[in-house]
Structure 1
């Protein structure tokens, strides 16, 4: 078993996949004079060697980009990022697009679009599962502390999350959770062919998982573990979805639990000895989830949930030119409002926190401190969640778009 885990975690396995897809490093001695390659993927590895590969951070500090960061986030090493060549641009664009399905720009546009254009019920289910699996995945990364693939031999196409640990792949977890939560929830709400939905869910989640290998950000083991963890969470929680829906929408303590619990989880996030984006990203997710949860509760209290009128399941609306134009207009207006909300609340909250802690406004690194990072990100994204779930649909009514 230890040999199998070491094989699946090997950087060379990822590099081999990249080369088969037409992506490879340009050999140049100037790029990695001190770089160290891990053992070939097929080399037998004993149990103690596996533990050294996967868990002893001191053995990785000079090899892996995860450990080229000091507490302030600056790269210590003077090495240049290796250059690469692309021989299959079709796969390159496909995998970069697929990787984008796990970034903030996707979550802040696609998930609200389901609320605005299809069914707030489905969006609520997706946000709830997305929040849970992402929190669990992010915490597991910083508890297990397993390194990402080494470069070289791997080509790394993303820089922002270089300082994060690898296992599990939260992109894989989110892709599985969103795709199959939608697939399991939609049949009771809308009419569609289940086999087609299953094919789409498998295809999209597979593309996202493979994109994490192509971009060099995760090992095969990271992706497999992320997929399995997400599948287990879906299986375990599925019988309780209806019960949680009822509590979330009708209980008088639902908004209090949503805000207090997520804020507590944000402040108690595991501390690291170097800065990474995981705590901030997790706070972002928890804040958005809390804002949406409170917003859905408020909508029920106001008697206007914006859900389609039954009997369910209802047929999908015809895709006419007028329907497409109205949907596009809702997307543009809604996305503009959410981005504006994000920018305004972020600016105001940072200014208030900088003033409270007597930090100069030009000190960009101060926002990495927990006492600043957690409240400003939480305030920003709880506001985004509230605006998305409460105000945007009412704005659509005012503008005649709903």
Structure 2
């Protein structure tokens, strides 16, 4: 309802009405209550950003942001299972899957924008700001949930680590979580409200996992086939009730991927317990002894396991995208399909492109070289200023409209005040004129809000120009009558998405979890690479 056929906003749709038209009242009302807080904190964030920014901190926080992404955890988690820490791995899977899912759930529920740029400058190693909404911060949720859970394990009576190792892990954990959370603020990607809410959500999820995680594991171990089916149906129901966003936001894609991971992990854990085969104990092995033989076996496990994951996705994803469209068309004719906004129904396309430019949680094999290059060059980053998503653009337009209305209102009040005050003008003329207070830097930042031009980005690589730690702000068109079509035409949009991708993601990522927990360890035990 909010877009015309060419993808641009409807000609008669005012920016302030977009979310009122797209969201039900029970979602629109809390959004409007929280939006002033997001706007209020923006100039303070920009002021803090400029005061403390240096090229070194730019590189540090841009690099450490990668340690809070879904991709990092999808690469890191298999190492826990394949190196003898399956219990810790299961806890991490539960934490990260729930963190990504429920933070994405809240994002799509409330559709709150990130703090405005300008005045903020967004620093990222990906070259552009995320297309997702801002509230809450998924990075903060993941980092805090992992940190609280790890610290709880380190402080538990069951911890067998020596004092030195325990202290070192404590320090690394604190450095990790502080770097991620503060980095979200420093890089201009989130506001105080975003990260505080993300931290609270992460802490709550860590508490649930530490307190009730063993109970969940016991339930899965003792469950019958019907009991496991209940768990599967619950996960699928959560995917189905995930809110539909007002803009084309990819939060749902990540939620589906990690729902698939959780689904596959529960099936694998249940089947491991039910199978009673000898290799189950090898999965539960303790950490290996790092002599030369064991280190070689560990390296071979990692290489072979990662290869299995990439082969699985390379074969399964194209197969599902080819087989599912005819099935979905048939179900659509029977009225059994519940379409999602921004996903194209199977009846509207003949085939799904072979190579989809996708926001993958696990990168493609062809992307590994560029991923390694990015890690090796932490100063390779982009500094972006201006709207970069539909949510950004609508917030820019809405804030322009807000300022225009306030200006008109203040103008009318000023006129009335002038007319009423003419009677006392002679008395005021006898007094010496007062010097007007120069606008503070904070007011300067507030004046920049809503003046964004689309797609402005500058690259900051290994060479820093001069001693400046920031990229100069350009001149922006602050008029409310700026070309809206141009604004929306130049922002980065997610690609066309297809209805069959939801089921495809569930199958692919549930298979990835099964391979990590059961398939790969079974293969390792058969070829003499099992952990001991």
The structure 2 residue matched to 1:146, chosen from 96, 103, 112, is 112
| 1:284 match: secondary structure | helix
Residues of 2 paired with 1:381 and 1:367: CA distance? 21
Distance 1:237 1:106, change over 3 A: closer
Partner residue, 2:311:
340
Residues of 2 paired with 1:244 and 1:225: CA distance? 26
Partner residue, 1:6:
37
The structure 2 residue matched to 1:368, chosen from 483, 492, 497, is 497
| 2:350 match: secondary structure | coil
The structure 1 residue matched to 2:275, chosen from 274, 277, 302, is 302
Distance 1:247 1:362, change over 3 A: closer
Partner residue, 2:248:
275
Please tell me whether the aligned partners of residues 131 and 249 of structure 2 are also in contact (alpha carbons under 8 angstroms).
yes
Partner residue, 2:50:
19
Partner residue, 1:75:
none
1:71-110 Cα distance to aligned partner (Å, 9 max, x none): xxxxxxxxxxxxxxxx22xx33432332112323212210
Please tell me whether the aligned partners of residues 334 and 392 of structure 1 are also in contact (alpha carbons under 8 angstroms).
yes
- Equivalences for residues 19-58 of structure 1 within 5 A: 19-20=50-51, 22=53
Please tell me whether the aligned partners of residues 140 and 167 of structure 1 are also in contact (alpha carbons under 8 angstroms).
yes
Is 1:329 the counterpart of 2:300? The answer is yes
Distance 1:249 1:190, change over 3 A: farther
Partner residue, 2:103:
137
How far residue 398 of structure 1 moved from its aligned partner, in angstroms, is 2.9
How far residue 317 of structure 1 moved from its aligned partner, in angstroms, is 4.7
Please tell me whether the aligned partners of residues 161 and 276 of structure 1 are also in contact (alpha carbons under 8 angstroms).
no
Please tell me whether the aligned partners of residues 8 and 221 of structure 1 are also in contact (alpha carbons under 8 angstroms).
no
Is 1:286 the counterpart of 2:259? The answer is yes
Count of aligned pairs between the two proteins: 329
Please tell me whether the aligned partners of residues 8 and 219 of structure 1 are also in contact (alpha carbons under 8 angstroms).
no
Report the TM-score when normalising by structure 1.
Answer: 0.73
RMSD: 2.8
Please tell me whether the aligned partners of residues 100 and 106 of structure 1 are also in contact (alpha carbons under 8 angstroms).
yes
Partner residue, 1:39:
none
Question: Is 234-243 or 94-103 further displaced after alignment?
Answer: 234-243
The structure 2 residue matched to 1:204, chosen from 159, 162, 176, is 176
The structure 2 residue matched to 1:122, chosen from 72, 80, 88, is 88
How far residue 339 of structure 1 moved from its aligned partner, in angstroms, is 2.1
**Gapped regions of structure 2 (runs ≥ 5):** 1-32, 328-345, 357-493
Residues of 2 paired with 1:390 and 1:222: CA distance? 37
| 1:275 match: secondary structure | coil
Distance 1:254 1:92, change over 3 A: farther
| 1:274 match: secondary structure | coil
Partner residue, 2:145:
177
How far residue 125 of structure 1 moved from its aligned partner, in angstroms, is 1.2
Please tell me whether the aligned partners of residues 120 and 306 of structure 1 are also in contact (alpha carbons under 8 angstroms).
no
Is 1:398 the counterpart of 2:526? The answer is yes
The structure 2 residue matched to 1:234, chosen from 206, 212, 225, is 206
Is 1:164 the counterpart of 2:136? The answer is no
**Higher alpha-carbon Rg:** 2
| 2:80 match: secondary structure | helix
Please tell me whether the aligned partners of residues 321 and 352 of structure 2 are also in contact (alpha carbons under 8 angstroms).
no
Distance 1:298 1:192, change over 3 A: farther
Please tell me whether the aligned partners of residues 137 and 169 of structure 1 are also in contact (alpha carbons under 8 angstroms).
yes
The structure 1 residue matched to 2:68, chosen from 102, 117, 142, is 102
Residues of 1 paired with 2:138 and 2:52: CA distance? 23
Residues of 2 paired with 1:277 and 1:235: CA distance? 28
How far residue 151 of structure 1 moved from its aligned partner, in angstroms, is 1.7
Residues of 2 paired with 1:258 and 1:94: CA distance? 41
Distance 1:98 1:325, change over 3 A: farther
**Gapped regions of structure 1 (runs ≥ 5):** 24-86
How far residue 280 of structure 1 moved from its aligned partner, in angstroms, is 0.8
Report the TM-score when normalising by structure 2.
Answer: 0.56
How far residue 329 of structure 1 moved from its aligned partner, in angstroms, is 2.4
Residues of 2 paired with 1:330 and 1:226: CA distance? 35
Residues of 1 paired with 2:202 and 2:233: CA distance? 25
Partner residue, 1:387:
515
